[in-house]
């Protein structure tokens, strides 16, 4: 590898290392704080909602959901499916219930999706799993008033892949009303040569077929009525910001209902952590979208 290639690889790896761009704390500390924040939010959610854990949506060990059901019932029950991040190789549904903290008291069901992270799971499997989890949720909760998706980082990528699903291959066609894609990656090609791909072992072919930016025609076919919010943190890396901006412009050009939220004073991690707060800008947007404000 030439000196120029080494420099280029180093720069690309830095761009795709979100913890190096936080202004709040060191790279190691921001990740530790992130896991702690998600865990404590999820513990709080379990005290505020009736929690059903490990509901299977498939045969695999990781193909399970945690469901946070509001204690008070109302006829208008929206449901939010949350897909966790962690670069397709960390985190789990166990610390992914935090959005229920502001949502359950408003009568919203929150579903946290488990999937087979790398190296056990590959990209094709993970995409298939999250699609099946959505189909299973819709079949299980047919009485809900509206279905919404939220994904963070790698989870935003997976949520975008859900929006780009050909549902004719499934026994159900979910009508997703809204989707929040937070600090996501929508083109997998740039990460092929980085450390992120070490456990994923994606080939170029796998990366292309699992890149939401390549599937706009399918998104238009299956999610044309969905309100899509692409959110990015002020202190996300330039490459992460570029990915979100490019995907937003592509969706806008395709005529989809999409808005872009550049969230000030946030980094890659607290942009999602703050969803535990009812007054947080993105939580308010989601509540408005669901008619809960």
Q: Cis peptide leading into 93, omega within 30 of 0?
A: no
pLDDT score of 3 more than 80: no
Rounded mean pLDDT of the chain? 96
Q: Quote the CATH superfamily of domain 3-289.
A: Alpha/Beta hydrolase fold, catalytic domain (3.40.50.1820)
Active-site residue list: 153, 236, 268
For the chain, percent of residues with pLDDT exceeding 70: 100
pLDDT for 32-61, tens place per residue?
999 999 999 999 999 999 999 999 999 999
pLDDT score of 205 more than 80: yes
pLDDT for 258-273, tens place per residue?
999 999 999 999 999 9
pLDDT score of 142 more than 90: no
d(CA 157, CA 162): 9
d(CA 96, CA 42): 6
pLDDT for 209-250, tens place per residue?
999 999 999 999 999 999 999 999 999 999 999 999 999 999
Provide the Cα torsion 250, 236, 36, 195; round to 10°. Answer: 80
Mean pLDDT confidence for 162-191: 96
């Amino acid at each position: 590898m030439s000196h120029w290639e080494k420099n280029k690889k180093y720069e690309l790896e830095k761009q795709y290392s979100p913890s190096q761009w936080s202004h709040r704390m060191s790279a190691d500390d921001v990740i530790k704080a992130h896991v702690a924040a998600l865990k404590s939010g999820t513990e709080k959610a379990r005290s505020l909602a009736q929690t059903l854990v490990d509901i299977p949506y498939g045969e695999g060990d990781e193909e399970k959901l945690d469901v946070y059901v509001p204690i008070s019932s109302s006829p208008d029950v929206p449901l939010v499916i949350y897909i966790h991040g962690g670069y397709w190789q960390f985190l789990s549904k166990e610390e992914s219930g935090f959005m229920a903290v502001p949502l359950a008291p408003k009568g919203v069901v929150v579903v946290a999706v488990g999937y087979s992270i790398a190296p056990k799971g590959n990209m094709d499997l993970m995409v298939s799993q999250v699609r099946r989890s959505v189909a299973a949720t819709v079949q299980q909760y047919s009485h809900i008033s509206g279905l919404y998706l939220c994904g963070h980082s790698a989870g935003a990528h997976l949520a975008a892949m859900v929006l780009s699903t050909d549902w004719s291959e499934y026994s159900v066609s979910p009508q997703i009303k809204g989707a929040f894609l937070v600090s996501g990656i929508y083109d997998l090609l740039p990460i092929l040569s980085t450390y992120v791909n070490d456990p994923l072992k994606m080939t170029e072919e796998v990366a292309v077929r699992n890149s939401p930016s390549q599937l706009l025609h399918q998104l238009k076919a299956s999610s044309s009525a969905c309100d899509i919010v692409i959110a990015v943190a002020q202190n996300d890396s330039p490459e992460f910001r570029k990915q979100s901006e490019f995907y937003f412009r592509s969706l806008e050009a395709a005529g989809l209902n999409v808005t872009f939220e550049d969230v000030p004073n946030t980094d890659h991690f607290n942009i999602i952590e703050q969803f535990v707060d009812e007054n947080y800008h993105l939580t308010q947007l989601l509540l408005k979208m669901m008619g809960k404000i």
